Each structure stands twice: as C-alpha cells, then as structure tokens.
Amino acid sequence: ATVFVLNGPNLNLLGTREPDIYGANTLADIEAMLEDKAKRLGLAIDFRQTNHEGVLVDWLHEADAAGAKAVLLNAAAYTHTSIALLDAIKAIGVPVIEVHLSDPVTREEFRHTSYVGMAAIDEVKGMGGPGYAVALEKAAAL
Ligand code: DQA
C-alpha cells in the first residue's frame, strides 16, 4: 500500500528556514527518515513538495485515483487559507492526516484556523520532523 506525503509552500526551504521554529532537518532528511520508517511498516511512500495550491489539489485527486492508503498533508500556509484544499479532502475517499512541524495553535492567531483540519481524520503537530513518522504509524494503523 502507498501513502502519499504532500508538502506545501516553503517547505523546500526547511533546514535554513526559521530553524528556531522548524528545526535543522531538511525536507530530504525527513524524506529519508520516512522511507526507512515506511520500509519497516511494509508501506511505500510517494513524497512530494510544491509551492502551488492547485498542485496540492491535483495531487489529492491523484492519491484518490491511485487508491492510496492515506495522505499525510502538511499544506503549510495553505492550511490556514485554502477552502479548495478542504473541498478536495472532502471530495476524495482517501483519509488525510494533517501534519505540521510546529504547533500552529501556539503561534500567531492567523494560524489558528485550519481548513485542512476541518476534513482531516487525524493530526500530528509540534513534533518537528519525527512527527511525520508518527503520522505514518497512524496511517499504517488505518
Ligand atoms: C507549518 C505551519 C504553518 O502555519 C506554516 O505556514 C508553515 C509550516 C508547519 O509545518 O509547522 O509553512 O505547516
């Protein structure tokens, strides 16, 4: 079974981007760690990043068409703005788990709303890169 791991805007800059908030791991580090975890769980992962909202919508549709077991979605800032992502999650049959490195609810007020969270079945927040592995365990248990 395959789990899609979809990452949104600015996550390509992890490692140098506000490391006090997001940590020193790059997205490639997180991908390598998750590949290892996936192998041990007997899962395949399809790991992607885009800075474009509509591409995330397309990839959610693609996960559904591919019969993915689950999607781990860190939609980054689009989490807090995107009704299109909310609608896409509602439109597909694949369960979506919301992931964030930081915990947005402890940060600025504009990060407190999560459109993704209105349709996601579960969430992992505030655990940094290792949170992706926790989310993959949740996906494996579905
Ligand atoms: C984030 C949290 C969002 O509020 C922010 O816009 C991001 C990253 C996180 O992983 O902590 O870009 O999704």
Distance 111 CA to ligand 1 centre (A): 8
114 assigned to a ligand binding site: no
Distance 3 CA to ligand 1 centre (A): 21
Give the nearest ligand 1 atom to 125 CA: 11
**Average per-residue pLDDT for the chain:** 98
pLDDT band at 129 (very low <50, low <70, confident <90, very high): very high
Please say if 132 is a catalytic residue. no
Residues 115-131, mean pLDDT to the nearest whole number? 98
Question: pLDDT at position 54, please?
Answer: 98
For the whole model, what pTM was predicted? 0.97
Residues 55-70, mean pLDDT to the nearest whole number? 98
Question: pLDDT at position 124, please?
Answer: 98
Question: pLDDT at position 78, please?
Answer: 98
Give the nearest ligand 1 atom to 126 CA: 11
pLDDT band at 81 (very low <50, low <70, confident <90, very high): very high
Q: Residue ranges per domain, the chain?
A: 2-140
Q: Which residues line ligand 1 (CB under 6 A)?
A: 10, 74, 76-77, 79, 100-102, 104, 111
Walk across the sheet containing 96-100 and list its strands.
Answer: 44-49, 2-7, 70-74, 96-100, 122-125
Give the nearest ligand 1 atom to 10 CA: 12
Instruction: List beta partners, residue 48.
Output: 6
Q: Whose CA is nearest to atom 8 of ligand 1?
A: 76
Task: Give the contacts of 75 (CB within 8 A, at least 6 positions apart).
Answer: 6, 8, 56, 82, 85, 98, 116
* DSSP 8-class letter at 84: H
Question: pLDDT at position 39, please?
Answer: 98
Task: Give the contacts of 60 (CB within 8 A, at least 6 positions apart).
Answer: 6, 71, 73, 85, 88, 89, 91, 92, 94, 96
2-140: CATH, from 3.40.50.11900, 3.40.50.9100, 2.170.190.11, 3.90.550.10: 3.40.50.9100
